[in-house]
Structure 1
Amino acid sequence: MKHLENKKNSVVRFLTFIYKNNKLKILVSFVLVIMASMVDLVFPQLTRKIVDNAIGGHDINLLVTLVILYGVLSIASACVDIVLEYFYSKMKNKSAVDLRISMLKHLSKLSGKYYSNIKTGNLLSILDNDMFIIENFGTDIIFSIIVDFFTALIALFFLIRMQFDLFLVVIVLQLILVVSQSKLTSIIADKTAEVRTDYGRIANIVQEYVSNIMNVVLTKSKRKFFKSFLDKERKIIKKFIRLDMVISGNVAIARFVSALITIAIYGFGGYKIIKGKMTLGELIAFQEYTGMLIGPCINIIRSNTRIQQAKVSLDRIYSVIDEEICIKVDNKGLRLNNTDVDSIIFKDVSFSYNSNEEKILKSINLKFKRGKTTALVGGSGCGKSTIVNLIYRLWDLDDGHIYINDTDIRDLNLLSLRKNICVVSQDLFLLDDTIRNNIVLDNKISDEKLKNICELTGLSELIDSLKLGLDTVIGERGVKLSGGQKQRLAIARTLLSECPIIIFDEATSALDNISQKSIIRNIKEIVEDKIMIVIAHRLSTIDDADLIYVLEDGRVVEQGNKDELVNLKGKYFQYLSEAES
C-alpha cells in the first residue's frame, strides 16, 4: 500500500489530503466560484448595452439602470472573492501545518540509520523553504483552473458568435502565445528543481557553521567553511540568473504577443466599425471577452508553473514522509510501566550498522539487573554505545535476542519502551530556556523535590550564585554554562524522570574527579531500585559498580566487580594501570 502511495503524483496526493479534511469548505467554494465566474461573464454584455443602447440611444433611464446593475454585481463579486479567499487561506494554511506536523512526527519514528545519514541543513531547507512554497499552494489553484477553463470556454463561445473573422485572427496569435508559454514553463520547472536542490546543500553548510560557530573559531576552520560556501553560492547565483532570464523571457514573449492581439483587435475591429459591420459597444465587449479568453489561458499555463514548482517541494517533503520505518512498531505490544522492569538480557546478540561491514557486536551476552549498577568499559569502537542504541531500539539487532524481563524487546510497544529509558550522553539536549524549564521539561515538579535534586547533582551552588536562580536563561545549547554544569543539569533532569532504566554514556566526562564521585554516590541512593548502566572511559566513575563488563572487538572479554577484575590481571587491570600512569 505504501509503495503504491509513493508512486502517486505528489501534487494529487497533497490535494487529496486537503480534500479529505475540507470537504464542506470545498463544496461551498466550488458553488461560489461558479457564481463568481458567471457574474464576470455578464460584464462585457452590460458594457455593450451601456455603450450601444444607453449612450448610443441617448436613454438616461436605461443608462442609470445598467450602471446600478453593474455596480451591484461588482460589489457582489467582490464579496464572493473575500469569502473565497478566507476559505482558501484557511484550507491551505491548515493543510501546510498538518503536513509539517506529519513530517516531524514521522522523523521521530525513523531509525538510527536515517539519523546517521541525514543532512540537517537540507532537512531544515525542506521544513522552511519547501513548506513556504506549499503554504502558498492549495485548493485555490484548482478552483482557479476550473474557473479559468469555464470562463475561457464561455468567452470562446461569445467571440465566435460576435465576430468570427476577427476571432480567427485572435486565435492564431493565441496559439503562438500558448505554445511559447508551455515550452518555457517546462524549462522553468526543471531549473527551479535544480536551484532548490542546490539551495538545500548550501543550507546544510550554513547550518553546520552556525550550530558549531564557537568550535569553528577555536579550530580556525572558518576559511574552509567560507570557501565551500562561496563556491556553491557562485554556482547557484549563476543558476538563479539563468532562471530569472528564462522567466523574464517568458513574460516578455507573453507581453509582445498580447500587444499583437490588442493591435489586431483595434486595427481590424476599427476597420469593421468604419465599414459599419461592427458597433463600438461590440468592439469593447469583444476586447473584454478576448481578455477573458487570453487571461485564463495564460493563468492555466502559469498555474502549471506553480504546480511544477510545488511538485518539486512536495516531492522533497514526501521523500521524508515516505522514508521507510525500519524499526517495526507493534502498537498492540506489551506496555511497560516503571514497576515492571527487573532485568535486561542480551542473548547471543550480533549487530552491524551496514550489512556488508564487519559485526560491531559478535554473539554478545549481557545481563543488567534492577537495583544494580552495571558498567561497560573498553576502547573506542568496541560496541559500548551500540549496546545503548539497541536497548533504545534506534536500530534492531541482526541476530540473537534482547529481553526485558522475559519479553523480546521487539514485542514491546516502542513508545512505552522508550518512555521507560532515560539516556544521558555527552551530546546534551538543552533548550534556550531557564534552568528550571530545562530540568522539569514542562512536567509538574514540586519546588522541594527540584531543590533536592539540584543539591544531589551539585547544581545548588551554581543556582545560588545567579541573580535569577532557577529562572536564569542558559542560552542556545546551554552556551552560558560550563561543560560540567551542563552535565549536572542533564543528570538532574534524568533523576526527575523516574525512568526504571537509566543509562549514563560518558555523562560525567566534563566533571572533575571529586565532583564526579560525589554525584555518583548521591545518584546511587536515588536509583537503588532502577537498572543503571554506565559507560565510562574514566574508570574512577565505576569504582562502586556492582558488575563491570569489559568489551573488546565486539565481545565480552572480562566481567566482574572491580576487585575481581583487578585480581584477574587482565584487560581491566591494563586499563587501570594506563589510567594511573
Structure 2
Amino acid sequence: MSTSVWDLYGDALQRQPLVAPPSRRRAAWASLWRFRTYLRPYASRFVIMFVVALLGTGVGIVTPLIARAIIDGPVANSDRPGLYALGALALAVGIVDAVLTFVRRWIVSIGTLGAETGIRLDLYAKLQRLPLGFHGQWDSGQLLSRVMNDLSTMRRFLGFGLLFLILNVLQITVVTILLIGMYWPMGVVVAVSAVPVVALCLLNERAYTRLSRRIQDQTGDVASSVEESVQGLRVIKAFGRGRHMFAEFDERATRLRATALERVRNVSRFWTFLEVIPTVTLIAVLAIGALAAAQDRLTLGTLVAFITLMLSLIWPVAALGFLLSMTQDAMTAADRVCEILDAPETIVDGPRVLDAPRGALRFTDVAFRFPDADDDVLHGVNLTVAPGETVALVGGTGSGKSTLTALVARLADVTAGSVTIDGVDVRDLKLAHLRSLVATAFEDPTLFSMSARENLTLGRPDATEAEIDQALEVAQAQFVHDLPWGLDTRIGEQGMSLSGGQRQRLALARAILTRPRVLVLDDTLSALDIHTEALVEEALRRVLVGVTGIVVAHRASTVLLADKVALLESGTITHVGTHAELLAGVPEYRELLSADFDAEAELA
C-alpha cells in the first residue's frame, strides 16, 4: 500500500527534532551535516550516482589517452585499420559518456527531490508544533523563504554541488598525477599552479558566507513585504498609502539588489583569478612542450594528450569558485532552516486522555506572561465553570480576555497556576484529544483558500450533511448555499470574498460542528447586525445546553447567553456573579455595559 501525504505529515508531527550542533559557530558544516538522515532512504541511489559519475569522469580522462594512441600509432605509421579501430573505440567512449550523464542526472533527481520533500514536510510540521509566541516574533516572509528558497538551495547543492566538488577535486588530483607521469617538468608547472587556487578559495570563503547570509535574510524581508501588502491591500487602498508601502518595498528590494551586486563583484573577482591561473599555466606548458617536442624529448601524441588533459582541468578549476559559492549558500541555508528546527517546542503532548469527559473547567491561580515581557498579562485568575454552564467573560480592552480563553485549548501555556478539565491539567492531556474537546471561534476568523465545505469541516472531516446543515442553521450561515457552487465554492485566501459577518458565522459554524465539550466564543458575534445576532443567540442557547461555554462579551445582549458573568480587570477576575448581581453591585460592570444597557430598566 502506498503511503499518503497525510501519513507522511502525521509522521513528521511526531518525529523528534534533529539534534542541534553543539555550537552555533560551527553551524555552517554542522547544520548541513545534520540533514544526512534525510538522504539515508536514498543511500543506494546516491552510491550508484557517485559510481556512475566517477565512471563518467574516468571516461573523460581516457579520451585524451586514446587520442595519444591514435596520433602516435595509426596516424604516425599510416595504419588505416588501426585508425578505424581506435576511432570506433573513441566513438563508443563518447556514447558511454552520454549514457552515464543521463543515468546520473536521473538518479540524483530522485534522491535529492525526495530528501527535499522530507525536510519540507518536517519543517512544516515543526511550524505547526511551535507555539503562537514563536510565530508572533517571526515575519511570515522569513519562514516562507526558509521553506521554499533555502530548501531549494540545499537540494541543488546535494544534487550537483557536493557531487562535482568531490569529483572535480578527484579529477584535478588524478589528472595532475598523470601529467607528471607523462612529462614531469610540465606536470610540476600544473601542480604548482594549484597553490594560488587554494589560497584564493580560502580568502574568499569568509566574505562570501557573510554576503550569502545577508542576501537570504533580505530575501525573506522582501517576501514579507509582498505578503503583507497583498493581505492588507484593502487597508492600503482605503487609506491611500500605496506610495508609502511601495517606498518601503522599494527600500528593501534596493537593499537586496545592493547586497547581491556586492556578492557578484566578490565572485567576479574570484572567478577572474581562477580563469587567469589556468590560462597562464597553459601558456607556460605550451612553451615547455614545444621546446621538448623540438628536442625529441616528447612525442607529438604525448604533447597533444598532455594539452588535452590539461584543458580538461580548466572547467574543474574554474568551477571550484562556483561550487564553493554553492557550498556556502547551502551551508547558510541549512543554518537558517536549523533556526526553525532548533526552536523550542514549549507546548508538547501530555500522556492522558479523558475517558468520559464532562467539561468541568477550572482556572486556579492562573498567571501568564508573554516571552521577554516585564509584566504579567494575567495574574491570580481563579474561576470555576461547571459542566454545561456558560460564563460570560467581560472586561475592558487589553484586560486579557482573549489571552485567558487561549489557555483553555493550550494555544498558549500558563506561566503559573493551572487550567484543568474534569480535574486534569490540560498540560497532561494529549494535544489532539484536548483540541477535540475544546473548540474556539475567534473574533477575527481565519478562513483558508479552499471550499466553504472544507473550511467548515476542518475540525471534523467526517461530519454528515445533516450535521453540517444544523451547524449552519445555528450560526445563521445558510448564505453558503447561495454561493455560485454552494458549499463547494472556493472562498479565496483569508475568505476575502465574504463579508466580515459572513466569515464570523462560517467560523462559528465550524466550531459548533466539532461538537465540543467546551465551546469558547471569543467575541464571535461582534461583526453581526442586530437582527442576525438575535437569531444566532437564540440558536446558541439551544447549542450551549450541556456544553461548557466561555463567551467573551462586549455587548450586553451577548451576556444574556451566560449563566453567570466574570468581570476581568487589569489581568485578574475581580467579580463573579449573575448579570443582575453585577449590575446591582459593581459600578465598573455597569460602566462597561452602559453603551448598550439601561441598568435601571434591567434591574426592574
Fold equivalence (TM over 0.5): yes
Tell me the CA shift for residue 464 of structure 1. Answer: 4.9
Partner residue in 1 for 2:14: none
1:95 maps to 115
Q: CA deviation at 1:135?
A: 2.7
Letter matched to residue 581 of structure 2: E
Quote how far apart the aligned CAs of 1:466 are. Answer: 3.7
Match of 1:213 in 2: 233
Partner of 1:577, secondary structure, is coil
Question: Who is 1:568 aligned against?
Answer: 585
> Matches of 1:15 and 1:74 in 2, distance apart?
36
CA distance in 2, matches of 1:369, 1:312: 53
Structure 1 unaligned regions, length at least 5: none
Structure 1 pair 464/366, CA: closer, same or farther in 2 (3 Å)?
Answer: same
- Written as runs of structure 1 = structure 2, the 5 A alignment for 1:8-407 is 9-138=29-158, 140-330=160-350, 333-336=351-354, 339-354=356-371, 357-407=374-424
Partner SS state of residue 350, structure 1: strand
In 1, Cα distance between the equivalents of 2:78 and 2:38? 53
User: Are 1:525 and 2:525 matched, yes or no?
Assistant: no
* Contact 1:153 1:293 survives alignment (8 Å): no
Separation (CA, whole Å) in 2 of partners of 1:415 and 1:282:
73
Corresponding pairs, count = 577
| 2:519 partner letter | I
Quick check: 1:448 aligned with 2:488? no
* Compared CA separation, residues 263 and 132, structure 1 to 2 (3 A): same
User: Is the partner of 1:324 in helix, strand or coil?
Assistant: coil
1:11–1:88 Cα change, 3 Å: farther
Q: Could you say what secondary structure the match of 2:596 adopts?
A: helix
Please tell me the residue identity of whatever aligns with 1:81: T
> Residue 168 of structure 2 contacts residue 317 of structure 2 at CA under 8 Å; is this kept in 1?
yes
Please say if residues 186 and 305 of structure 1, whose CA atoms lie closer than 8 Å, have aligned partners that are also in contact. no
Deviations 1:319-342 (A, max 9, x none): 011101122433xx10246x4142
Larger mean CA deviation between 272-281 and 165-174 belongs to 165-174
TM-superposed CA distance for 1:291, in Å, is: 3.3
Q: 2:503 matched to 1:483?
A: no
CA contact (8 A) 2:39 2:115 kept: no
| Contact 2:177–2:187 (CA under 8 A) maintained in structure 1 | no
Structure 1 residues 35 and 473: alpha-carbon distance in aligned structure 2, compared to 1, 3 A threshold? closer
Distance 2:396 2:317 in 1: 69
**Cα displacement string for residues 18-55 of structure 1 (whole angstroms, at most 9, x for unaligned residues):** 44222222333333333333333222211100111111
User: How far apart are the structure 1 equivalents of 2:382 and 2:226?
Assistant: 44
Cα distance, 1:350 vs. partner? 1.8
**2:363–2:384 Cα contact (<8 Å) kept:** yes
Question: For 2:256, what is the secondary structure of its paired residue?
Answer: helix
Describe the SS at the equivalent of 2:407: helix
Cα deviation code 1:534-561 (max 9, x no counterpart): 1121121121311210111122121122
**Shift in CA distance, 355/136, structure 1 to aligned 2, threshold 3 Å:** closer
1:346 alignment partner, SS class? strand
Instruction: Answer whether contact 2:565 2:577 (CA < 8 A) is retained.
Output: yes
Show the counterpart of 1:549: 566
Contact 2:556 2:597 in 1 (8 A): no
Q: Give the structure 2 partner of residue 419 of structure 1.
A: 436
Over residues 476-507 of structure 1, what are the superposed CA-to-partner deviations in whole Å (9 max), with x where a residue is unaligned? Answer: 21122111111111111111112222111111
Q: 1: CA distance between counterparts of 2:131 and 2:411?
A: 5
- Note if contact 2:32-2:330 (Cα within 8 Å) is conserved in structure 1: no
Secondary structure at the aligned position of 2:594 is classed as helix
- Whole-Å separation in 2 of the counterparts to 1:217 and 1:357: 37
Q: Percent identity?
A: 25
Alpha-carbon displacement from aligned partner over 1:39-92 (angstroms, at most 9, x marks no partner)? 332222111001111111111121111122222222223222222212211111
Partners of 1:103 and 1:320 within 8 A in 2:
yes
Q: Aligned-pair RMSD on alpha carbons?
A: 2.3
For 1:43, the aligned partner's letter is: T
CA contact (8 A) 2:564 2:576 kept: yes
Q: Which deviates the most, 13-22 or 392-401?
A: 13-22
Return the offset for 1:6: 6.4
Measured in 2, the distance between the counterparts of 1:116 and 1:505 equals 19
Do the aligned residues in 2 keep the contact of 1:91 with 1:138 (CA within 8 Å)? no
Contact 2:554-2:593 at 8 Å conserved across structures: no
1:401-456 deviations in whole A, cap 9, x for unaligned?
A: 21111212221122321232211112211122332222123813333332333233
Distance 1:557 1:514 in 2: 33
In structure 2, the gaps of 5 or more residues are 1-17, 599-604
2:436, 2:514 within 8 Å by CA — same for their partners in 1? no
The amino acid across from 1:552 in the alignment is E
SS in 2 for 1:49: helix
Report the Cα offset of residue 301 of structure 1. Answer: 4.6
Q: Relative to 1, partners in 2 of residues 1:2 and 1:549: Cα closer, same or farther, differing over 3 Å?
A: same
Q: Deviations over 1:353-382 (max 9, x none)?
A: 246522222211112232222110100121
Shift of 1:294: 4.5
TM-score by length of 2: 0.90
List per-residue Cα deviations over 1:225-256 (Å, max 9, x = no partner): 22222223333322222222222223332333
SS in 1 for 2:165: helix
Shift, 1:181, TM fit: 4.5
Q: For the Cα contact (< 8 Å) 2:197–2:274, is it kept in 1?
A: yes
Contact between 2:181 and 2:187, CA under 8 Å: does it hold in 1? no
Q: Cα–Cα, structure 1 residues 4 and 565, in superposed 2: closer, same or farther, change >3 Å?
A: same
Are 1:378 and 1:552, in contact at CA under 8 Å, matched by a contact in 2?
A: yes
How much does 1:140 deviate?
4.4
Deviation at 1:473, TM superposition (A): 2.7
